[in-house]
Amino acid sequence: MVNDSLVSSVRAFSRFYTNSVGALRYDAFSLTEARVLFELAQCESAEVADLRKELDVDAGYLSRLLNRFDADGLTVRAKSTVDARRQVISLTDKGRATQRELDDVASEQVAGLLDGLSEQERGEVVSAMNTIRRLLGGEAKDRALVLRPTRVGDYGWVVQRHGELYAREYGWDATFESLVARIVADFVDEQDPAREAGWIAEVDGERVGCVFCMKQDDETAKLRILLVEPSARGMGVGARLVEECERFARAAGYKRITLWTNDILSAARRIYQRAGYELVDEQAHRSFGAELNGQTWVKDL
């Protein structure tokens, strides 16, 4: 049973958020009208019944709204070629131009809401929003993946998330976190920017993965500390990070790239195998409080 204080907190946030969204105003369109235009802009055409279901809008209200769009030359409707009883609607060129203008206005207004916050605070806001969407079942279908170079503030996150995730998923102790901390510290202190680099993967502005390319010798690069957050697994994040690491290594003049892992890390191993790495050595060892089988993989560039 959910207690009253939790319900009150959620309702208070809902009122606050509604007021904040209320700041997003369009001169000639309501928020619902702008949402309909946005959804129609994502495809060539849509069945009216599917549109109503997707938006959860009253059928009568949606009909009046679409009639207005038709009259203003923003949309056109036709009978479905599959079922003549159903209507298909699409945006006209004027409708798409109008939607782009509304999208620009919305982006400017959101930027205004975030303008008074620091970069860290903006990240916290976006992360909190993503958490709410994920936990309440509203995860976006088309989450945006971005790879960017590492920067100040990322390195502590890399160490922390390695320690937390490997302890939770494999039971590894703090000596693994210590190892990652030494790797990261060496990278920060001794990095050769021409031949070494690190990347952070972000989804909707939230850090979800990392990888580093480091020098082993003049001809060999080493892929190190690849990590993908559980929330982003299945999106191809690991493969993208490995691909970016290889691209950099190739451009930096390395002839091959190598990595060391443990066979218990099956998801990472599959990424390496699909990318064309070959297993060249393996050896049992006891590390991080566990009995493990270490593996060395190599790929020619």
How many domains is the chain partitioned into structurally?
Answer: 2
44, 61, 102, 142, 252 from 202: Cα distances, Å: 29, 38, 26, 13, 24
State the residue for tokens 């957050």: 229
Q: Do 154 and 242 lie in a common domain?
A: yes
Both 95 and 179 in one domain: the answer is no
SS3 90: strand
Question: Is 275 a member of any domain?
Answer: yes
Residue 102 included in any domain: yes
Claim to verify: residue 228 and residue 293 sit in the same structural domain: yes
Are 153 and 256 within one domain? yes
| pTM assigned to the model | 0.56
Determine, yes or no, domain membership for 138. Answer: no
The residues pairing with 109 across neighbouring beta strands, listed in sequence order, are none
pLDDT tens figures, 188-219: 999 999 999 999 999 878 899 999 999 999 99
Q: Tell me: do 152 and 111 sit in the same domain.
A: no
pLDDT digits (tens, 9 = 90+) for 50-75: 888 877 778 888 889 889 999 999 99
What does the pLDDT read at residue 219?
97
The answer to whether residue 66 sits within a structural domain is yes
Question: Are residues 164 and 248 both part of a single domain?
Answer: yes
Q: Are residues 101 and 181 in the same domain?
A: no
Q: Is residue 179 part of a domain?
A: yes
Distances (CA, A) of 199 to 158, 208, 218, 223, 227: 11, 11, 21, 11, 11
Q: What residue type is 100 in one-letter code?
A: R
Q: Domain span at residue 183?
A: 146-300
- Could you say which residues of the chain have pLDDT below 70? 1, 18-27, 82-83, 119-120, 123, 127, 130, 134, 137-143
Give a yes or no: residue 130 inside a domain.
Answer: no
Would you say residue 136 lies in a domain? no
pLDDT of residue 261: 96
Q: What is the CATH number of the domain that holds 59?
A: 1.10.10.10
Q: Do 99 and 177 belong to one domain?
A: no
In a domain, 135, yes or no: no
Do 150 and 296 belong together in one domain?
Answer: yes
